[in-house]
């Protein structure tokens, strides 16, 4: 059900941990499954992501996608990091089962949230970046929530 790459990143996650005095920190959760992900970015004066770490309190797919997402943004410019979408992360992992697609969204949103934090702290504008949601479940499947 899971690709070898997913299993590898789940069992040997890259870039797990935190960064002290990070340039940007982003935390997002999904209230539906209860999973939370936090991304730390260390960005140099040229806007290059020197280091990135993550902490995920979540399922195996969330761990694997955070691990892959951190690998994909490391060494990139903040603008290039915007291209690391959940689709790009899933492709790099050779796919995820459909019920686990939302886990990869958590990784994309956590990176965006950390970039947003960095941009706000430095008074800069990152093209295409929108204010991230703190709960990616917000606005999804509204009909279910109207009770
Ligand atoms: Fe929620 Fe995977 S089940 S992030």
CATH number reported for the structural domain that contains residue 48 in this entry:
3.90.1010.10
In a domain, 82, yes or no: yes
pTM above 0.95, yes or no: no
Cα 6–Cα 95–Cα 66 angle in degrees, nearest 5 = 50
DSSP class of residue 37 equals E
| CA distances in angstroms from 27 to 106, 115, 129, listed in the order given | 9, 11, 16
| Atom number in ligand 1 closest to CA 34 | 1
User: What is the C-alpha end-to-end distance of the chain, expressed in Å?
Assistant: 34
Q: Which of 9, 33, 36 to mutate to test the pocket of ligand 1 (most atoms within 8 A of CB)?
A: 33
In a domain, 38, yes or no: yes
In a domain, 143, yes or no: no
Number of domains in the chain: 1
Q: pLDDT tens, 71-108?
A: 999 999 999 999 999 999 999 999 999 999 999 999 99
Q: pLDDT tens, 26-45?
A: 999 998 899 999 999 999 99
Q: What residue numbers bound the domain in which 42 lies?
A: 4-128
In a domain, 134, yes or no: no
């Amino acid at each position: 059900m899971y690709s070898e790459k997913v299993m590898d990143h789940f069992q040997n996650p890259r870039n797990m941990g935190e960064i002290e005095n990070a340039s940007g920190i982003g935390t997002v959760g999904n209230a539906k499954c209860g999973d939370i992900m936090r991304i730390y970015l260390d960005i140099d004066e040229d806007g290059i992501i020197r280091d990135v770490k993550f902490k995920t309190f979540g399922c195996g797919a969330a761990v694997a996608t955070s691990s892959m997402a951190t690998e994909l943004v490391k060494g990139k410019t903040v603008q290039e990091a915007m291209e690391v979408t959940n689709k790009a992360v899933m492709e790099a992992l050779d796919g995820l089962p459909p019920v686990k697609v939302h886990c990869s969204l958590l990784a994309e949103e956590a990176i965006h949230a950390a970039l947003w934090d960095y941009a706000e702290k430095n008074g800069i504008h990152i093209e295409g970046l929108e204010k991230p949601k703190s709960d990616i479940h917000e606005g999804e499947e509204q009909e279910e929530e109207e009770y």
